[in-house]
Amino acid sequence: MALICCHDIPLFFANIDSPGEQQKYSVALIEHLFSLLPPQATVVMLYDVGCVLTRSIAKFDILPEDITSHLRFATTAMHAYGHEWACQLEHNPWMCVGLGLSDGEGTERLWSCFVRLIGSEMKADLGEWIKHHHKWGVKDQECMALNVINCCETSVEDLQAQWTDQQQSQLSICASLQTTKTMLEKETASNDTLNVLESLQRGHDRLMDKVETLFSSLNVQDRFLELDGVNLDFIRVLLMACNLKMNIQKRAIARTKLHQHIHKAITKRQSVLMTAIRKFNLYCECLELLHDPTWNIPLPTPLPTKLAELHGDQTLMQDVWITPSIGEVPRWLEDLDIRDGIHALLK
């Protein structure tokens, strides 16, 4: 294991002499780094499972207070999109203030350079890599982001306030859902209940073709009293869109874990994923036609139909709202220009 600075220069190495990449190696590297830094130094560590290490350090007091008070963790950019949305809000480096476009993949680039084991070429390649990304990456993205911000006609301060509001709202929702799931699996639910849940999960794909018929037969107003007065056709399409969005999220995240599989398997999954996305976008169009603003139900956003765009689309992990919003609908949820502006601001 290696500790790399933000310019991809290796600082320290730890020899892994046990099965697996255990947390003790990361902790040892961090302690050694802080022993050489001034007391007031602040450090951000980008690690594949930085979220897990954060919890371990907080729960078991592994590191002293004088280190943890000056230390923050983030996940690496490549791994971040395989994590839950609540985790991304806290640990995705491209959503953390001050990290810019840092991706945390310096260790991977180091191992790649080690193949040749020629120091002079490593230094030359590093310079070329920095120049290339500065010329074709940072400047282009900065120009595109500024154009989006200018087009949305909203101040940077307003966009930052909306982004903060979005983080607080979504972290609160995700935390509640996770707590409920944990209680159901470990404490509250009986064995029979858990067996039923497992059975439903296994039969999910088989039942997808029958979803529309199922929702049509439900008396939705009796089950969702808060939807009283909302058009029945709108509710049916909304619930089908909610269910399909969850299916798309699972397939899209699973696809990020297929890089070691054969190309045939990837192609097969892409086809199923694209079919689901196109169907979801049709639901979004239908909902827009049926929608009445007085219902106070935010409309879902259509998803990109290109996998390259889907990978970086932040609406992918946003759930479909199936209940009216209490009070005024937040601008970050209702206004597409504000959402685009926040996305550009994070760049």
pLDDT-derived band at 265 (thresholds 50, 70, 90) equals very low
Are 21 and 1 a contacting pair, CB within 8 Å?
yes
82-91, 195-204, 239-248: least confidently modelled range: 195-204
- Those residues with Cβ within 8 angstroms of residue 119's Cβ, 6 or more apart along the chain or in another chain: none
Asked if the model's pLDDT at residue 186 lies above 60, the reply is: no
Mean pLDDT, residues 236-254? 80
Distance (Å, rounded) from C-alpha 28 to C-alpha 35?
Answer: 11
- CA angle 278/346/92 to nearest 5° reads 80
Do 50 and 80 contact (CB within 8 A), yes or no?
no
Instruction: Indicate the range of 78-87, 98-107, 143-152, 190-199 predicted with least confidence.
Output: 190-199
Among 308, 320, 297, 302, residue whose Cα is nearest residue 252: 308
Distance CA 330, CA 22 (A): 42
| Rounded (5°) CA angle 135-112-265 | 95
Q: What is the pLDDT of residues 54-73, one digit of tens each?
A: 888 888 888 999 999 999 99
Q: Is the pLDDT of residue 219 over 60?
A: no
Both structure tokens of 189: 């639910």
Which pLDDT score, from 0 to 100, does residue 203 have?
A: 64
How many Cβ atoms sit within 10 Å of the Cβ of residue 266? 14
Residue with tokens 């192609």: 267
Cβ contact 28:52 at 8 Å: no
115-129, 241-255, 332-346: segment of lowest average pLDDT: 115-129
Q: How far is CA 30 from CA 36, 52, 117, in A?
A: 10, 15, 26
Average pLDDT, the chain: 76
> Which string of DSSP letters, residue by residue, matches 284-311?
HHHHHHH--GGG--PPPPPPPSSHHHHH
Segment of 218-232, 258-272, 285-299, 310-324 carrying the highest mean pLDDT: 285-299
pLDDT at 227 over 80: no
Q: How far apart are CA 113 and CA 222, in angstroms?
A: 63
Q: Are 37 and 31 in contact (CB under 8 A)?
A: no
Asked if 2 and 26 touch (Cβ cutoff 8 Å), the reply is no
Helix (H, G, I), strand (E, B), or coil: what is residue 44? strand
The stretch 197-215 carries a mean pLDDT of: 59
How far, CA to CA in Å, does 68 sit from each of 53, 93, 249? 12, 18, 34
* Average pLDDT rounded to a whole number, residues 310-320: 74
pLDDT band with cut points at 50, 70 and 90 for residue 237: confident
Asked whether the predicted pLDDT for residue 194 surpasses 50, the reply is: yes
* pLDDT score, position 282: 92
pLDDT band at 37 (very low <50, low <70, confident <90, very high): very high
* Interstrand relation of 10-13 and 43-46 (parallel, antiparallel or unpaired): unpaired
**One-letter amino acid of 62:** I
Please tell me the number of Cα atoms within 13 Å of 252 on its side-chain side.
29
Q: Are 283 and 244 in contact (CB under 8 A)?
A: yes
Residue 346's pLDDT is 74
Q: What local confidence, expressed as pLDDT, does residue 23 receive?
A: 87
Sequence-distant (≥ 6) Cβ neighbours of residue 252 within 8 angstroms: 273, 310, 316
